[in-house]
Amino acid sequence: MTQMQELEKSILEFKTKFNEEFANDKNVGEEEDVPQILNELVNAIFQYAANDGKRLRPYLLNRINTEFGNSDLNLEDALFGFEILHNSTLIADDVLDGHLERRGKPTLLKTYKNKGYSVEHITILASYMMFNMGLEMIAGSELPTEIKLKYVQAYNEISASVNMGQVIDLNQRGKLDISEKNYINKIRATAATFIAKMFYVGAKDNKDKFEDIGYDLGIIFQLADDLMDVNSKKRKGRDLGSDIRMGTPTLLSIYTYQHLEGSDQRLFGELFGKEDLNGEDLDWMIEKYQKTGAVVHVQEEIEKYQSKVHEGLKDLKIEEPHWLYDLCDYAHQRTN
């Protein structure tokens, strides 16, 4: 078994155990003297969170804490809490992007469609409720007070950063004349912050250095997701070219647009964000990603951040072979 396979096995084993414990611990029944809609919504929330996901964030927190933090801590409630926070951000993302499915299952937008009230309103309220539930799990845990406070602070910092990133995302929607730096700053605020904070709270010493590594890994994960969006051999969880159809700028589309000229650039801009884009036009746009060198450019950016991760690990005296080096490769090479 290769080191990469060992890491993938470790993530899968953690995920399986996490899902079992989550299902047992969060088996929600109906509360008396509570309106039925609230009971239904709470059950729908936990069903959403129980849907299959990578469980990467709790995995990283658990493993960093075990090796570089305090392995005597009981992190179960904190792991559940941060995963609930992650799902609360996904629910908000579903509303912003109009997703009816996630991980092959219906989102709350679809679940509450035709229920007689605004589906967007009830879904946003579900996101608020999940945020509170996750915070309560951590605040009510048996963690030492000093550590609990750091976890709660990280929880709020993640939420604030993701919210800011979502505002930036909405402002960038449909635009291609933005800088690569601005795009990287957006994914640093959203996808990368959560991973960075798992490294930060998990480590006992050199917390800032671990956090920097987490940020670079988070950027790698997102850039790899961007590539998956136009790779039919990999499964991102949504239809091929979903970022193109939704007008969500990525490093691929930004680079391509800025390296096209004349009628090609005009047509690319007109097709970008067209929800009913046909297969022929989508193929044309993906072909431009290749011909302008955008795919190679993104791969080179990933390699740049991989080098930064390696440098950071060596600065911490963590030498190969080590699972954190494998994680760097996994972030780029995974198929879903």
Sequential DSSP letters for 97-137? HT-SEETTEE-HHHHTTTSSS-HHHHHHHHHHHHHHHHHHH
**What's the confidence (pLDDT) of residue 287?**
96
**What's the confidence (pLDDT) of residue 32?**
60
Q: How far apart are CA 8 and CA 195, in angstroms?
A: 17
Measured CA distances, 42 to 35, 93, 111, 252 (Å): 11, 19, 13, 39
Q: Does domain 174-336 have CATH number 1.10.600.10?
A: yes
**Residue type present at position 191:** A
Per residue of the chain (336 residues), what is the pLDDT tens digit?
A: 788 889 999 999 999 999 888 887 765 555 666 577 777 788 888 888 887 688 999 999 999 999 999 999 999 999 999 999 999 999 988 888 888 888 778 888 888 886 766 878 888 888 999 999 999 999 999 999 999 999 999 999 999 999 999 999 999 999 999 999 999 999 999 999 999 999 999 999 999 999 999 999 999 999 999 999 888 676 555 678 889 999 999 999 999 999 999 999 999 999 999 989 999 999 999 999 999 999 999 999 999 999 999 999 999 999 999 999 999 999 988 766
Chain Cα centroid distance, residue 67:
24
Q: What is the sign, positive or negative, of the torsion defined by CA atoms of 215, 218, 222, 223?
A: positive
**DSSP E strands, the chain:** 101-102, 105-106
Report the helix count and the strand count for the chain, using DSSP H and E.
Answer: 16, 2
1-143 topology per CATH? Farnesyl Diphosphate Synthase (1.10.600)
**What's the confidence (pLDDT) of residue 40?**
79
**Residue type present at position 110:** K
Are the C-beta atoms of residues 214 and 196 closer than 8 Å to each other?
yes
Are the C-beta atoms of residues 174 and 272 closer than 8 Å to each other?
yes
**What's the confidence (pLDDT) of residue 21?**
87
Q: Token pair of 51, please?
A: 């849907």
**What's the confidence (pLDDT) of residue 116?**
64
Domain boundaries, the chain: 1-143, 174-336
**What's the confidence (pLDDT) of residue 207?**
97
